[in-house]
Amino acid sequence: MSADNQQERPKNINPWYITGFVEGEGTFHIAIYRDPKMKYGIKIIPEFHINQSYLRQETLQQIKTYFKCGYIKHNHKTNDRDDTLVYVVRNRNDLMQKIIPFFEKYPMLSKKQESFLIFKQIVWWLDQGKHTTKTGVKKIIKLSYQMNNSGKNRKIRKEDLLDFLESSETIRQKCA
């Protein structure tokens, strides 16, 4: 059996296999974007992702089955040339009860472990309601920009979010 076939079709998926797979293809991410419906105009969504070519969809399916949560979708629907799929877990309960305990038990060896630890802290803060205060939102923004290569690939700069948070609060106070 070739190495490629072994990667595509693990029979009984080993937890350490999942950890290794996530080391190469996974991400712990905190999505942050402006949303006028939110108290401070900023929405925070913790996400666990694993990207993979559609050729290895079975591997993603086995990981999804292992965790018993999340969903698989096309990574970039609008890009016809992108044939990748992504396994996504966004549900905070699933993150706290399945994903985080898994990676506490089967930790990564790379710098990605640091991002996981920050991710874990932010998910816990969200569960504790820290995102319902302006100070908490600021802390979450600052921490999330320490993850994944210091937010290098983010579309919105940290400073822009923090400035928006300050300006939207100023506007709200003047209107009240």
Give per-residue pLDDT as tens, 80-115: 666 789 999 999 999 999 999 999 999 999 999 999
Mean pLDDT across 4-25: 76
Q: Which CATH number goes with the domain that contains 18?
A: 3.10.28.10
Number of structural domains in the chain? 1
What would the pLDDT profile of 136-160 be if each residue is shown by its tens digit? 889 999 999 988 776 666 777 788 8
Q: Which pLDDT does position 9 carry in this prediction?
A: 46
pLDDT at position 64 over 60 = yes
Q: Give residue 52's domain range.
A: 3-175
pLDDT at position 46 over 50 = yes
Strand arrangement of the beta sheet that strand 71-74 belongs to: 26-34, 42-53, 84-89, 71-74
Half-sphere CA count of 28, side-chain side, radius 13 A: 28
* pLDDT interval class at 134 (50, 70, 90): confident
Location of structure tokens 């913790």? 46
Q: Which residues pair with 73 in a beta bridge?
A: 86
Task: Report the 10 Å Cβ neighbour count for 138.
Answer: 16
